[in-house]
């Protein structure tokens, strides 16, 4: 398993991330999300919605993982989009 996925699990336990398309987009609008993981198997509509919002607000998007990998890493089912809200975990994830 990728080390970043392990760190996502830790970030989730520390309440440093939010999950779900609508919630993440809402947090992006409020400037609370610093980085977004978008599942590479998300629907075209979801990808367009999230990518457009992230581009507008200058937020980096990572498309490295599938929804299954993201969901397993954070221990929740069917997560296509998660947003990192914790600056400290963002630094760890970017290493």
> pTM, whole model, 2 decimals?
0.92
One DSSP character per residue, 28-86 reads HHTT---EEEE-TTS-HHHHHHHHHHHHHTT-EEE--S-HHHHHHHHT-SS--EEEE--
CB neighbour class for 5 (10 Å; exposed up to 12, middle 13-18, buried from 19): middle
Q: For residue 39, what are the domain limits?
A: 3-94
Domains contained in the chain, number: 1
Between 49 and 93, residue with greater pLDDT: 49
Residue with tokens 């996502």: 8
CATH number at residue 19: 3.30.1330.30
Residue with tokens 């996925």: 5
Residue range 6-33: mean pLDDT, rounded: 93
pLDDT band per the 50, 70, 90 thresholds, residue 27: very high
Per-residue pLDDT tens for 33-67? 999 999 999 999 999 999 999 999 999 999 999 99
pLDDT at position 56 is 96
């Amino acid at each position: 398993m990728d080390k970043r996925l392990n760190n996502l699990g830790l970030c989730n336990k520390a309440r440093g991330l939010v999950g779900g398309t609508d919630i993440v987009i809402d947090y992006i609008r409020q400037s609370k999300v610093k980085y977004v993981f978008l599942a590479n198997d998300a629907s075209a509509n979801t990808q367009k919605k999230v990518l457009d919002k992230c581009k507008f607000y200058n937020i980096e998007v990572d498309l490295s993982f599938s929804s299954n990998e993201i969901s397993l890493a954070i221990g929740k089912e069917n997560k296509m989009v998660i947003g990192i809200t914790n600056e400290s975990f963002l630094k760890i994830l970017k290493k």
